[in-house]
Copies of this chain bind each other. A is one copy, B any other.
Amino acid sequence: MPKVLILSRDAEEYYQRIEAAHLPALEKLAAAKNIDEALALGNDFDIIFGEPKRMRGILAMLPNLRWAQSTWAGVELLLDPALRRDYALTKASGIYGILMSEYVFGYMLFHERRMLERLQAQKEKRWDESITGSLRGKTIGLLGVGSVGAHLARTAKHFGMTVRGYTRASEACSEVDEYFHGEALFDFAAGLDYLIGVLPTTDSTRHIVDAALLERLPAQAVFINVGRGATVDDSALINALGNQKLALAVLDVFKQVPLPTDHPFWQTPNLLMTFHTSGPSLPGDLSLVFIENYNRYINGQPLLHQVDFERGY
């Protein structure tokens, strides 16, 4: 009979939602905001549900652990080879598509529609009817096409864009007009209006956005990163922006969080930062992800969004 530990900043809200769902066969449901609280609740849990940064510390103390459901899409913290891997790890997925589309297209439109310039014109009481750009007919390149990338592709088609996708091998999303793999990274980048980073950190994605890649982008291109900070060579990005080889970068993810105040990103011209807010983890959605997987767990079905420890996502 399953015993579930919720270990999360939002422990109380998750507890209420999961309790209200009256999960079948559930023997024990407990909720803690931190490891100390959790340990007081026992160590007989076979299921944990929470943020990777909290779950990481308790992994070794749960002898019966069989499944961990992450509230985050990014689970790198649990992939450290020094940590145990004898349980099923599932990540948050499928719920971030709309949220990330809102973020990415919000900032693309912020750029095309010259919102900053209009604000400035209004301040100066200047009737600024300079013509705006449009997404229509422009080309977006998705660096990574998982469930978030697929939603971005759909939104791009809605706005009349051409969509390129760069993946290891997958060509599953029919809204991608052209796929690129492996060595074709530079072909993928050539002529893009928008480059969108949606990649997890793995050995093959670390610093994939480097000087050589940035050089392939046209000078009017915009780079938006909602994947992982480690996929970007920070200095190369700063140089590209400084040398007008890139029009704008919008970063939601960073190598270090919060970013130290002496990091040059804070003051790099044409670089906007959004502090890891692009895909807010909403307890309502995440509870549904957990509940769906719980029902699969007790019925012996394959869990959704299970992470391959070797592959890294």
Contact = CB atoms under 8 A, between A and B. Distances in A.
A231 to B, nearest CB: 20
A61 interface: no
A252 to B, nearest CB: 10
B105 A272 contact: no
A129 B272 contact: no
A110 B106 contact: yes
A259 B134 CA distance: 25
Contact of A266 (B125, B129, B134): B125
Contacts of A35: none
A115 interface: yes
A99 interface: yes
Contacts of A87: none
A276 B266 CA distance: 33
A241 to B, nearest CB: 14
A136 B159 CA distance: 18
Contacts of A112: 102, 106
A109 B129 CA distance: 22
Interface in A235-279: 258-259, 261, 266, 272-278
A262 to B, nearest CB: 9
Interface in A13-30: none
Interface string A88-107: 00000000001101110111
Contacts of A106: 106, 109-110, 112-113, 115
B158 A99 contact: no
Nearest to A104: B109
A125 B131 CA distance: 32
A132 interface: yes
Interface string A105-145: 11101101111101101100101111110111000000000
13 contacts: A99-B134, A102-B112, A103-B132, A106-B110, A106-B115, A107-B113, A107-B115, A109-B110, A110-B110, A121-B275, A129-B258, A131-B277, A132-B277
Interface of A: 98-99, 101-103, 105-107, 109-110, 112-116, 118-119, 121-122, 125, 127-132, 134-136, 154-155, 158-160, 258-259, 261, 266, 272-278, 280, 282
